[in-house]
Each structure stands twice: as C-alpha cells, then as structure tokens.
C-alpha cells in the first residue's frame, strides 16, 4: 500500500496559557482561519498537515496542549516520541518569555536529545504592545543550545506560521 507521505514527524507546542498556541495550529492547518475567542478545551488534541519540501511529502502530527498547561498537567506522555518542539511566548507579555527556562527544563527532561526545538514569539502584529524585542529573543536563543532558531509570528495576520513549521520540518528531514 502506498503511503500519502514520505516522512512523519510529531511536533508538540508548549508555552504559557493564552500565548496563541491553538491559533497557530489552526492557522497552520487551515491557512485562513483565525479564532478570536479563547477556547479552553480539555483533552489532548492533535492535527495533521502534510507539506512538501524538496519533493518530499512531510506529514506533521502537531500536538497542542489544549489548555493542559493551565493546570500544570503536561505529562511525559505528551512529549513522548516528539521529533520537534515549538516553545511559544507572547511578545506582548514579558512573563511568557521569562517562562522559557521552565519550558526548556521540560524539554530536557522529557524529550530525546535529537529533538529539534524552535522558539516562537507570537502576536508580532501587536507592535505597540511589544515587551520583548526580537534581538533579545535571539540573544537568549544563542545561549540555549537546544533551541535551533527563533522566529516571530502572527497567527492573526498569518505571518511566518508556515515558515516556522517548514523550518522545523526541513531540519528534521535533513537529519534523516
């Protein structure tokens, strides 16, 4: 039986509550849907999307915490077998950036050394409310060996959403 993809990678999103993780996943999956409302569904959720890079069909299985981070109950099973991790913060909420160390510790504790990790500063459309600069994010990124790259996104305006996932997928593909 022929598969509809060449490679399959599990990518998990982590980060503080309300930074935009669900919106990022929805935007990536659908391309044109942005939900203004903050839903707080309980239950682990994953979405599938296949992208093509260098003629290879890469299927991404994207896990969203579905509100679990609110209750500090992200468990090792969420991270199990993850190939990629996206740590999301909100560029307008400094405290969500300062949580980075906590999330890195989880990555260190629960994922394989080979995991590809990206730092995503979401809500870059809210320029007037910015509390974290891209330069500062890059400086922190340079100090944390686990983080391969950082990128700013807007799920609202569909800025860099596809790019963020494609960069992770490309890196994972090149490591095969």
Residues that bind ligand GDP (CB under 6 A): 17-23, 36, 38, 122-123, 125-126, 154-156
Sequence length of the chain is 176
Q: Which helix (H) or strand (E) holds 13?
A: strand 7-15
If you ran DSSP here, which 8-state letter would residue 154 be given? B
Least separation in angstroms between CB 62 and ligand GDP: 12
Residue closer to ligand GDP (CB basis): 4 or 36: 36
Residue closer to ligand GDP (CB basis): 6 or 131: 131
Name the residue with the smallest CB distance to ligand GDP.
20
Closest to 140 measured CA to CA, from 89, 84, 93, 85: 89
Residue closer to ligand GDP (CB basis): 125 or 171: 125
Least separation in angstroms between CB 145 and ligand GDP: 25
Distance (Å, whole) CA 115 – CA 96 = 22
Least separation in angstroms between CB 159 and ligand GDP: 8
Q: Is 86 helix (H, G, I), strand (E, B) or coil?
A: strand
Distance (Å, whole) CA 136 – CA 89 = 13
Phi, then psi, of 51 in degrees rounded to 5: -120, 155
Least separation in angstroms between CB 35 and ligand GDP: 6
Residue closer to ligand GDP (CB basis): 42 or 112: 42
């Amino acid at each position: 039986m022929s598969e509809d993809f060449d490679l399959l990678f599990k990518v998990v999103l982590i980060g503080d509550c309300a930074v935009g993780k669900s919106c990022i996943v929805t935007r990536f999956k659908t391309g044109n849907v942005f939900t203004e409302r903050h839903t707080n569904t309980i239950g682990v959720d994953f979405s599938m999307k296949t992208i093509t890079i260098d003629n290879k069909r890469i299927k991404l299985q994207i896990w969203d915490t579905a509100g679990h981070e609110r209750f500090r109950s992200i468990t090792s099973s969420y991270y199990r077998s993850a190939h990629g991790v996206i740590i999301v913060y909100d560029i307008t909420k400094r405290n969500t950036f300062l949580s980075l160390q906590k999330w890195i510790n989880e990555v260190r504790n629960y994922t394989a050394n080979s995991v590809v990790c990206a730092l995503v500063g979401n809500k870059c459309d809210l320029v007037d409310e910015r509390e974290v600069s891209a330069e500062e994010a890059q400086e922190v990124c340079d100090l944390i060996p686990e983080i391969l790259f950082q990128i700013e996104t807007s799920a609202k305006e569909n800025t860099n959403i596809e790019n963020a996932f494609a960069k992770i997928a490309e890196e994972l593909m090149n490591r095969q």
